Copies of this chain bind each other. A is one copy, B any other.
Amino acid sequence: MIVVLKPEISKKDEQAVLKEIKKLGYKPHVMRGVERTVIGCIGDERTHQTLEVLGSWSQVEKVMPIQKRFKLVSREAHKGNSTINVNGTVIGGKKIQIMAGPCSVEDEMQLMTTAHAVKKAGATILRGGAFKPRTSPYEFQGLGLKGLKLLAKARKETGLGVITELLSEQHAELVAEYSDILQIGARNAQNFQLLIAAAKTGKPVLLKRGLSMKIEEWLLAGEYVLSNNNPNLMFCERGIRTFETYTRNTLDLSTVPIIKKESHCPIVIDPSQGAGRSDLVTAMCKGAVAMGADALLIEVHPNPAEAWSDGAQQVTLEGFANLMEELKPFIAAAGRE
């Protein structure tokens, strides 16, 4: 921690700060600069109480942390890339994995048609929402258990792994029973109780970035999963909220090299939520692959115009097959499979 004192404070005021720093367990190291005095505080910021509280003292100008706050998810904790094995499908390895399927599971016909089509086009994991977080209580909230059972059936028929969203701590065991990866949505990205419940099921967890989550906060949310003894975490960028209204969110593709730099966990890109409009999905997938993403999460629907949720951002079965074709040269250029 670095504590910067205000210019022209008295010796007594400086002493009071030094005393408090020591009381909180740090060893102060005073540097007298041209205008201000700066105190380096030596001690582990992750085990001691933060000194940021000193920022409220009248003689202190600012307090700056030095250390990174995340540990287990950090690249320093694990030099190599972590991989996650979902029934033989490896996420984070040489092969770029494609997770595809409808926004919501609506009925057997819709799900099976989609599952077979995305598998044929090259997807290895089936996505589909059974419990849906909806902005309004009057919107379709998902089929619930019935949806989970359909997903399990599609898995059995096609051999695809299944990813679905977990919305409630009380459903953790249930959702884990029917799926292979638990998705934590953007609106729950700092619902720490849900993260702990997901981690404890032992299933791999895909953690979406919150709508206005800083990278450090996202990594710290991931820390809740790893520190609850579940090493199978992947991060998923799905767009952040900005002033721009042309797209539903602003997809921050710089997260791909950043997560690779800061963490050993795989990074997944969700261009469907990122754009909120299907006509931009293909271009975003190309960018994500070129920048080094480990997997893509794409919404696909047999008839987007009649989808029960988020129709505007889902691509058709034919559109998805074309997208997969168009991606091939970029996957090769990235040295991936």
Contact = CB atoms under 8 A, between A and B. Distances in A.
A31 interface: yes
A97 to B, nearest CB: 18
Contacts of A143: none
Nearest to A44: B34
A330 B331 CA distance: 9
Interface in A233-290: 240-247, 250-254, 256-258, 261, 274-275, 277-280, 283-284, 286-290
A201 interface: no
Interface string A135-165: 1111000000000000000000000000000
A263 B240 CA distance: 25
Nearest to A274: B254
A215 B227 contact: no
A1 to B, nearest CB: 9
Given A40-B31, A55-B312, A192 B134 contact: yes
Interface in A115-147: 133-138
A260 to B, nearest CB: 8
Given A257-B280, A290-B286, A36 B220 contact: no
A203 to B, nearest CB: 19
A236 to B, nearest CB: 16
B34 A42 contact: yes
Q: How large is the interface on A (under 10, 10 to 19, 20 to 34, 35 or more residues)?
A: 35 or more
A88 interface: no
B42 A40 contact: no
B38 A2 contact: yes
B289 A283 contact: no
Contact of A220 (B66, B135, B252): B135
A13 interface: no
Interface in A8-32: 20, 24, 29, 31-32
Given A29-B31, A257-B280, A287-B288, A193 B212 contact: no
Interface string A26-68: 0001011111101010111011010011111100000010110
Given A214-B244, A243-B242, A290-B287, A307 B53 contact: yes
A317 to B, nearest CB: 14
A36 B66 contact: yes
A64 B1 CA distance: 12
Interface in A76-101: 76
A191 interface: yes
Given A214-B243, A305-B56, A308-B49, A279 B261 contact: yes
A32 B41 CA distance: 10
Most chain B CB inside 10 Å of its own CB: which residue of A134, A242, A287, A314: A287
B2 A212 contact: no
Q: Which of A47, A66, A251 has the most CB of B within 10 A?
A: A66
17 contacts: A20-B305, A33-B43, A53-B305, A53-B312, A69-B135, A168-B169, A168-B193, A187-B191, A191-B194, A212-B243, A240-B242, A242-B242, A251-B254, A254-B283, A257-B284, A286-B290, A287-B288
Ordered nearest first, which 9 A-B pairs have the shortest CB separation?
A53-B311, A212-B212, A290-B290, A329-B333, A287-B287, A257-B283, A187-B190, A286-B290, A31-B40
